Chains A and B, each alone.
Chain A
Amino acid sequence: MTEPLIYDLGSPGRAGIKMPDPDVPLADLPADLARDDLDLPEVSEVDVVRHYTRLSILNHSIDKGFYPLGSCTMKYNPRLNEDMARLPGLAAVHPYQDPETAQGALELMYETQEWLKEIGGFAGVSLQPSAGAQGEFTGILIMRAYHRDRGDTRRTRILIPDSAHGTNPASTTMSGLEVIEIPSDARGNVDLESLRAHCDDTVVGLMITNPNTLGLFEDQIVPIIELVHNCGGLVYGDGANLNALMGIVRPGDLGFDVMHYNLHKTFSTPHGGGGPGSGPVGVAEHLAPYLPGPLVDIVEGAESEGEMPRYQLVMPARSIGRMKAFYGNFGVIVRAYTYMMVNGSDGLRRVSEMAVLNANYLRARLRNTYHVPYDRVNMHEFVIEGRFADAPGIHALDISKRLMDYGMHPPTNYFPLIVHEALMIEPTETESKESLDAFCNAMVSIAREAREQPELLRDAPHSTPVGRLDEVRAARQLSLCCRPIANPD
């Protein structure tokens, strides 16, 4: 089942919309400025609606079924968030309007900053970064700026555990710093001895994900942070896994100096097939002057008695600069703020408790069928091995593809790299016990098929719109655009 390209629909001369004729005199356009042709589709509105509706049903989505993609926190995306982001008083506000005409938007941003500070235990928050990877990049630039501002230019190294997400080293390189990889120990935690050996006066900081990518809380986190602080380094927390920690522990209290939040994971904003996200950064007091701006602050002294506070945009004193134009992904921030308001203080703790309960329940139910390499109480996710000693030739990928036939999205494959044939499972708190049981039953059934009918797995998926796609062909015979473009060279 496939759908033609939009360019292959319609007919010359057809239009999807009627725009009005000019109500002003026509102005001349110098002929040498105008383009000759514009190669866009010629389709009707109904062509467009049907085409994109038919495309949409080729997708799996949270709305359609279980989506246990590890480290991605695919929780239900509340529809109230969507309504709020579309209120005309929020969606139709221009970023350069006089702040006096955008006090509601500024207040919403200010409140979001305050909530995030309290949840993470930080002194300052900037909502600027557009996504998690940009939040990370921001955090590294802040650490770098802090050291350079003190005249300490010897520090050029960032320590990163080998289990870290690939964006950690990539963001480090973009900041002009050097990556030093720290191995994990047998329990899947950072190897303290190796860390100690690398802690010296060339260290900018350590980047660490806690809970780590195995879903385990680093129980040595306090000594790890002490080690880094004692050599003058800073500690960056990758907040990808914050869904396990709200109201459970505050990274700022543990001594983290910087952390980014993923509003599109923890705070229920939709992933939209790859974005937009939002990756605010929280920092301890000593790093607050370096935050990217502008931030929202209350105008001092502007409020007379009984009046509402006035809000303004401010640039922190020693800011690393802007990470994007304007103030952050405001529409995403509205959704996250809506979610926080609905949950409140107790609700957020309940979110993390149930996310962790769900993940441990899955581990307990699957541990007799699949090997769990680090089999202890985990946080919001855990990792199993997608291979069986008595079913040679079956890989994690085959299990993943077969899950699609059961109507579920596969777990994250082959990550973290330190587990063979890794399948990383994160159910999130919005899944009911019935939905978890259905997943376990599917996984147990697939394990049986792996032994009895291995070809069922190797040729899977069988029920999807297309089968396994030829990625080698895609890369060798690059076709990235369906239109012929004349090359002027």
Chain B
Amino acid sequence: MSYIPHTADDIQAMLETIGLADVEELFTAIPEAFRFPTLDLPEGLSQMETSQAIEYLSEANLPAGKMITFLGAGAYNHYSPAVVNQVLLRGEFLTAYTPYQPEISQGTLQAIFEYQSMICALTAMEVANASHYDGATALAEAVILALNAARDDRKKVVLSGVIHPEYREVVRTYTQGMGLTIEGDEPASADLNTFIDAIDDQTALAAIQYPNFFGQIDDIARFIQAAHAHGALACIVADPIALGLLKPPGAMGADIVVGEGQGLGIPMSFGGPYLGFFATRQKYVRKMAGRLVGETTDAQGQTGYVLTLSTREQHIRREKATSNICTNQGLMALAAAVYLSVMGKHGLRKVAELCYHKSHYAADVIDRLDGYNIDRHKPFFKEFVVQCPRPVAEINRYLLETYGIIGGYDLESPYPDRKNQMLIAVTEMNTREEIDLLAQALNEVEQ
């Protein structure tokens, strides 16, 4: 009961003011048969004991840092400058609510405005919102925007099979009651042409990932043109680190750019909390879900920031709102803003280049091993697919037990025709020695 300040005297005095004899009298509105159940839970512990118990649990895990890791597939071991975590620990940011009262929330509001601006710059889009839960839900919200923009005249969505399998699952969960057809990813291994051929005049939105789930860089300009030829909105699911180096989707005409912002200084944390970024064209701003911060002035003419266009949102529009979303990932958006500031124009490019060079070095050394082949028919960024001589699970077990290496992602379960294929991620955090050790270990498995 560490966090309750009441003394017995306080409680007595307060009950007297209320006019009750004891605390239990506060609960007479609750049906007696159900009142005060016994919870079959442990007794409370001191902070010290709790801390020891959770540290003990944490030691049962093998985290990056303690291990060498080449696992990506949507969550990445990127470097987070110390400044990011230190700013997040400021209680003024950490313990504030959604900035409904702008006069006493300028810190949060301006930080989100800066985040929105940096996402626009990174994607080359005109507007970005204050963020969504993660990359997957941001894609689902893009689908809903497109349906609304088409005023329900188009009820088809085309998703490329090279989009993260779980993102496609989330879109299907979100839209199960919307009477929608989703095509393009059956079979999931369909190539770019088959995907583009599925786009027709009934398509509200078509989406592809950049770089794709296999790390490859598709010809997205061609995809965007094809979508536009049918009047469909073109959505790109982008890796923000890759955008430090690669041509931004906005420059190629994308209508919506979404993605997972975890790489921007946010820990992997076993899958969350992450950051879904969302950017679009000015003309769709009123169809966009989520919070938006805009610039304005006070009576003295000082610049200030407010939540704006809230008539799109659930608390005013209720059943007619653009989405049910209530919050953004405020603290995660702040992390991304601090990360992008401290990395800056030159640092982010450097991070992206390190990923590019190191992953290509890794691909080269693995490609030289007997029994291993790299899929090189398209350019790739920081991940690549290795055809292995044995089941991936078997290889990963060897890497872990013999070298403390967390190997790549096993592509077989989401893509059954990709037997013995491993998706390897190499970031700026991997050293040449680690890569050489991985190659040595892979070589040993084969022998």
Contacts and interface: CB of A to CB of B under 8 A. Distances in A.
**Do A and B have CB atoms closer than 8 angstroms in the complex?**
yes
Contacts of B19: 364
Nearest to A276: B273
Interface string A275-286: 111100000000
18 contacts: A7-B117, A48-B341, A58-B107, A90-B61, A97-B61, A131-B133, A170-B324, A270-B331, A273-B98, A274-B99, A276-B331, A325-B74, A327-B272, A330-B269, A330-B271, A331-B267, A409-B101, A480-B293
The 4 closest A-B pairs by CB, nearest first: A326-B271, A176-B177, A89-B58, A344-B44
A485 B49 CA distance: 53
Interface in A238-283: 246-250, 253-254, 268, 270-278
A25 B353 CA distance: 12
A60 B416 CA distance: 52
A87 B66 CA distance: 12
Nearest to B173: A321
A83 B48 CA distance: 12
Q: Which among A80, A322, A487 has the highest number of chain B CB atoms within 10 Å? A: A322
B193 interface: no
A488 B252 contact: yes
A62 B95 CA distance: 5
Contacts of A467: 103, 298-300, 302
Given A89-B63, A357-B14, A108 B324 contact: no
B31 A324 contact: no
Nearest to A173: B319
Given A22-B357, A52-B338, A325-B170, 12 more contacts: A27-B361, A38-B348, A59-B93, A277-B327, A331-B269, A332-B272, A341-B42, A341-B45, A344-B41, A364-B18, A468-B298, A478-B308
Contact of A275 (B243, B282, B300, B327): B327
A479 B104 CA distance: 20
A193 interface: no
Q: Which among A17, A56, A323 has the highest number of chain B CB atoms within 10 Å? A: A17
Contacts of B353: 22
A64 B91 contact: yes
A27 B39 contact: no
B447 interface: no
A94 B75 CA distance: 7
A464 B104 contact: yes
A478 B281 CA distance: 13
Interface in B18-47: 18-20, 23, 25-31, 34-47
A463 to B, nearest CB: 9
A449 to B, nearest CB: 18
B40 A320 contact: no
A405 to B, nearest CB: 10
Interface string A451-489: 000000000010011111111011100111111011111
Contacts of A209: none
B341 A43 contact: yes
Q: Which among A222, A363, A465 has the highest number of chain B CB atoms within 10 Å? A: A465
Nearest to B26: A356
Contacts of B271: 95, 325-328, 330
B251 A35 contact: yes
B50 A273 contact: no
Contacts of B44: 341-347
Q: Which among B34, B43, B116 has the highest number of chain A CB atoms within 10 Å? A: B34
Q: Which among B45, B106, B306 has the highest number of chain A CB atoms within 10 Å? A: B106
Given A250-B34, A345-B42, A104 B58 contact: yes
Nearest to B19: A364
A40 B122 contact: yes
A470 B298 CA distance: 6
A151 interface: no
Nearest to B254: A488
Nearest to B243: A35
Interface in B223-272: 243-248, 250-253, 260, 267-272
Q: Is the interface of A mostly helix, strand, loop or mixed?
A: loop
Contact of A98 (B39, B299, B323, B396): B396
Contact of A130 (B29, B134, B331): B134
A19 interface: yes
Interface stretch (A134-142, A229-237, A297-305, A384-392): A134-142
A395 B289 CA distance: 30
Contacts of B247: 32-35
Contacts of B135: 325
A38 B244 contact: yes
Nearest to B286: A478
A108 B247 CA distance: 42
Given A92-B267, A268-B3, A342-B2, A471 B308 contact: yes
Given A272-B331, A275-B329, A326-B270, A338 B308 contact: no
Contact of B306 (A118, A415, A474): A474
A466 B106 contact: yes
Nearest to B180: A176
Contact of A131 (B217, B243, B326): B326
Contact of B106 (A58, A107, A409): A58
Contacts of B173: 141, 292, 320-323
Q: Which among A104, A144, A320 has the highest number of chain B CB atoms within 10 Å? A: A104
Contacts of A152: none
A136 B324 contact: yes
A217 interface: yes
B96 A41 contact: no
Interface string A352-377: 01101110110111000000000001
Interface in B265-293: 267-274, 281-282, 285, 291-293
A409 B50 contact: no
Contacts of A97: 61-62, 71, 406
A474 B111 CA distance: 17
Contacts of A20: 354, 428
Interface string A107-141: 11000000100110100000000111110110001
A216 B285 contact: no
A324 to B, nearest CB: 5
